[in-house]
Amino acid sequence: MNPILLKLVEALVGMLAAFLIEAIRKLSSRDVANRLATIAITHVKILMSSGMGNEERRKAAFEGIKKDCATLGIDAKDWLINLAIEVAVGKVKADAPPE
């Protein structure tokens, strides 16, 4: 095979591999984000009707989410769990029927 053509094919294969790796990384990041959101919404929905105070609910949600993430192998930092709780609270409130 022509050496120039061989170099071109090698470069194209390298670019394709880099593109596919990035696409897979993005898909798995979205999957983790969706799983974290689902976990947070589940905990928030359960705790919203628990009769606990706001700080107690937030702490219980944080601990439950952190435990579920560890069980599922999701490496969620504390700030990310806190953000997921805030977003979940907003989502649950927005989805609730008007009073």
Query: Is the distance from CB of 35 to CB of 74 less than 8 angstroms?
Result: yes
Query: Is the distance from CB of 27 to CB of 65 less than 8 angstroms?
Result: no
6 found inside a domain? no
77 found inside a domain? yes
25 found inside a domain? no
3 found inside a domain? no
* Number of structural domains in the chain: 1
Task: Quote the pTM value.
Answer: 0.72
Domain enclosing residue 75, as ranges: 30-95
55 found inside a domain? yes
pLDDT in tens, 21-64: 566 566 567 788 888 999 999 999 999 988 899 999 999 999 99
